[in-house]
Amino acid sequence: MSRAIGIVAVVVFVVGLGVWSVQKYHSYHFKAQTTNGEVSMDTFLGKYKIVYFGYMSCPDVCPATLGLLQESLQDLQDETDLSDVVVLFITLDPKRDSLKALDSYVKHFYPNAYGLRFDEQTLQEVTKRYGVKYEIIPLKDSKLGYSIAHSSSLYLFDKQGFLTQEVSNLATLKDDLLSFFANH
């Protein structure tokens, strides 16, 4: 009797793990616009994906994060085939960030990068699923009119499209990337 209960428990656990994996896979997927048309996470199957949310007129956090990512990837080019790595930069400012300018901006930091844009409603849905926090801050005496306060995590996806890690401590980014590439 206890053996039958044990078998049932194992089956329930395995099925539950499978359901959790499917949810983990699908909950982070999206369709976005790029200069090349619509893309989804499936567009990049077979590639490691590094997803970052930011905006082009960000004065400090975004360029610092992208610069650190660029430096870390360059340092790892001997250990990793970087042709298998794409960076997906999702704008938090679809009103100001044109696709062409966005693509040019992100390619400045990494040549195999894509600037992605959503409409405002889709952006809110996707950021909620990722747990990205952002808020538009009015700037009364600025030509910009507003700034955007935002979280700055990088999301690492394996070649099959599963989220494997959220990197929020940029001090460990290079080590986190090295471990990510070695283990996935």
Binding residues for Cu cation: 58, 62, 150
Binding residues: 58, 62, 150
Q: Which of 147, 156, 163, 160 is nearest to 181 (CA)?
A: 156
